[in-house]
Amino acid sequence: MGIFTGNSALIFGAGRNIGRAIAREFARRGARVGIADLDFEGATEAAALIQAEGGQAIALRCDVTSSDSLREAAAAAEAALGEIGIVMNNAGLLHSGNPEDFPFSEWERMIGCNLMGMVRSLEIFLPKMLARGSGHIVNTASFAGLYPYAASRIPYAVSKAGVISLSENLAIYAIPKGVRVSCFCPGPVMTTSPHGMKIFSANVPMRGPGGHLWLKSQEEVATILAEGMEAGRIMIPTHPEVRATLLEWAASPDDFIHKQIASFEAGNIGQPQVDRAKFGL
């Protein structure tokens, strides 16, 4: 029996795209799932999909930028699903712009959601899990937090680097106390997240993690996450090729950055390869 069977999972930011695919994957593997999202309609649709597939799911309205809202969603999830064994912090915002064009308020909005949303969730669930000596915390980061390329969205990259540091250090602290920690680290994934993102500068190309990577589907990365969690993994990147990139970066961050500058100046913005037929494009 795996870690999902008979367990309860609460996922923040699961109303659409990657979070929704993960909720479906967890449910398929036997978890009761709470789908908490700012977009309650999306969460309701996701829960209905899971129920139609024979799974158990509830939709919850939640804004991870408010501790009160998180507390209410957590209490409602516990009342409906029982003790929460898996908490996944996946809610995230995206934006685009040059660093001089992001106002201070945008830095606060980005970090307040992508990083501090997790801290608010931890404040509720970590003490309970430590007291029980069991549980699993999963935080969604990004390749943008692993190595430098996302110069067209620096506050986003900073928030995700914070998520990686939070998760790695929490793992050192919590795993010996019985609480598992995983950091889900997506590379390029086909989603609609760029639609409707806030744009702060005109004509800024969306710099990507590199042309050596292929765009993956939401279902593929949801399976990679679930299998990584089953295997007890801490860092769970969606593309194993990232290891070579990280080794290159670690060998000389200066050389790596200069190579990125040269590559961008030559007109390569690091966009991934896309199998157009796979995505019906």
Ligand X SMILES: NC(=O)c1ccc[n+]([C@@H]2O[C@H](COP(=O)([O-])OP(=O)(O)OC[C@H]3O[C@@H](n4cnc5c(N)ncnc54)[C@H](O)[C@@H]3O)[C@@H](O)[C@H]2O)c1
Q: How far apart are CA 229 and CA 182, in angstroms?
A: 7
Residue 204 CA to its chain's centroid (Å) = 24
Nearer to ligand X, 39 or 78 (CB): 39
By the criterion CB under 6 A, which residues form the site for ligand X? 12-13, 15-19, 37-39, 42, 62-65, 90-93, 113, 140, 142, 186, 188-189, 191-193
Nearer to ligand X, 5 or 105 (CB): 105
Tokens 């279902």 -> residue? 219
Q: How far apart are CA 157 and CA 110, in angstroms?
A: 10
Nearer to ligand X, 91 or 242 (CB): 91
Nearer to ligand X, 141 or 179 (CB): 141
CB of 37: closest distance to ligand X in angstroms? 5
CB of 10: closest distance to ligand X in angstroms? 12
Residues 6+ apart with CB under 8 A from 225: 22, 25, 138, 182, 184, 236, 238
Nearer to ligand X, 162 or 188 (CB): 188
CB of 218: closest distance to ligand X in angstroms? 7
CB of 193: closest distance to ligand X in angstroms? 3
Q: How far apart are CA 70 and CA 98, in angstroms?
A: 32
Q: How far apart are CA 20 and CA 43, in angstroms?
A: 8
**What are the strands, taking DSSP E only, across the chain?**
8-12, 32-37, 56-61, 86-89, 95-96, 136-140, 180-185, 198-199, 235-237
Pull the structure tokens for residue 212.
């050596």
147 counts as catalytic:
no
- Cα→Cα distances 62→48, 72, 135, 181, 226, Å: 18, 8, 21, 22, 24
Tokens 């598992």 -> residue? 180
CB of 89: closest distance to ligand X in angstroms? 8
Of 147, 149, 156, 173, which residue is the catalytic one? 156
Q: What residue is closest to ligand X based on CB?
A: 92
CB of 180: closest distance to ligand X in angstroms? 20
Nearer to ligand X, 41 or 83 (CB): 41
What's the angle, vertex CA 34, arms to CA 29 and CA 37, rounded to 5?
125
What are the catalytic residues? 156
